[in-house]
Amino acid sequence: MAQCRRLTVLRLSSNCLSALPSWLFTLPELAFLSFASNPCASPATNGHHTTRGLASIPWSDIEVQETLASTPSSTTSQALWHQSPHYAEDVAVTLFCGSAPTDAGLPADELAAHLAAGAHESLVTLLGRIHSHPEEDEPTASPEDELQGGIVTQLIPPEYTPLASTAPMDLATALQALTGLAGALAHLHARGIAHGAVCADTILASAADAHALLHGFAAATIYSPSSHSGLASATRDEDQDQDQGQQEEESEQGGSSSSGSIEKIEVLAFGKVIEGLLAAVEKGAGQDSDEMERGLRELAGRCVVGSVGERPGFGEVVEGLEGLMGWRGMMRIPDVVPR
């Protein structure tokens, strides 16, 4: 597989891998990587815990209304969260079921990623974790039906639609949405979480609000910088059959020696998102619009470069996008119209 230079998606979850091969981080087109439920990356060994301050919500306070989405590992429903006899909030409830392993991980991995992700304005807000569900302690006939847990999140407004079908944006609107998304990804990787599926299908956007939300952790992997350096170094024994020249070439390409290789694989996926938006935005007129477009194309080019180590990290991507926006563009309060 080291010679599969055009490989873009690799799902290695639910295996017995104690380390990832070093050549993995030299593949120039790999943009989507999952390796949850492996000894080299598991929530239990990496020490991730539920976000502090998260509400513990009894199932009896939830009134399920209608199913919004269903996958083999989870069901999401619109619901009312009765916080008191006099107040109920519209929310979304996701129940994770099953213990059968898949190449994208277990339902428990997806739940763990939600709980560890924390809060960011471009992530779907997690409100609480469900407890006392009637199926929690009941034996099931099939492992596929076993309840792994549940969460309560904000109900996404209907004006947020998949990025590919969102109403056309102008450059300034697209730039503002991209800046938020890059910030969310920087936030996730700072917490040791790779989303694993950054694309138009997992991004919901509202052109009217100049805002986008990254959702879905079905392909997510929880890792940590210490575990990642272990991934790279532990593969040396496996690579002894490679000649020294090839090892030096991989190092020069910014391969496994880079502590941010996992993050930079996902930077490639984000670069593809930028390119997709640039192809669809409504082109404006004027010097500011031209400079904005040039800046976005230059940044996208850096994100999709074939050498993994030469790509920027998400912190640098955010800085570049904020620089293109300027300080006025980052203000959420609209300018005052002079009288």
Residue pLDDT, tens place only, 16-41: 888 888 899 999 999 999 999 888 88
- Tell me whether residue 69 is in a domain: yes
pLDDT of residue 144: 66
CB atoms within 10 A of CB 287: 7
- Tell me whether residue 100 is in a domain: yes
Whether the Cβ atoms of residue 78 and residue 68 lie closer than 8 Å to each other: yes
Taking the mean position of all CA atoms in its chain, how far away is CA 94?
17
Provide the residue range defining the domain that includes 128. 55-154
Query: Which is more confidently placed, 168 or 213?
Result: 213
Confidence tier at 43 by pLDDT (50, 70, 90):
low
* Domain CATH for 87: 3.30.200.20
CA 158-65-217 angle, 5° bins: 60
Confidence tier at 288 by pLDDT (50, 70, 90):
confident
- Tell me whether residue 80 is in a domain: yes
| Domain count within the chain | 1
- Tell me whether residue 132 is in a domain: yes
- Tell me whether residue 62 is in a domain: yes
Q: Work out the angle between the directed axes of helices 287-303 and 261-280 (0-180°, nearest 10).
A: 140
Q: List Cβ neighbours of 131 (8 Å cut-off, separation of 6 or more).
A: 56, 57, 58, 59
Confidence tier at 198 by pLDDT (50, 70, 90):
very high
If you average pLDDT over residues 234-251, what whole number do you get?
A: 41
Q: How many CA atoms are closer than 13 Å to the CA of 42, on its beta-carbon side?
A: 14
Strands (E), 219-285: 221-222
Mean of pLDDT over the chain: 84
- Tell me whether residue 275 is in a domain: no
- Tell me whether residue 81 is in a domain: yes
Q: pTM, whole model, 2 decimals?
A: 0.85
Confidence tier at 115 by pLDDT (50, 70, 90):
very high
Confidence tier at 104 by pLDDT (50, 70, 90):
confident
- Tell me whether residue 314 is in a domain: no
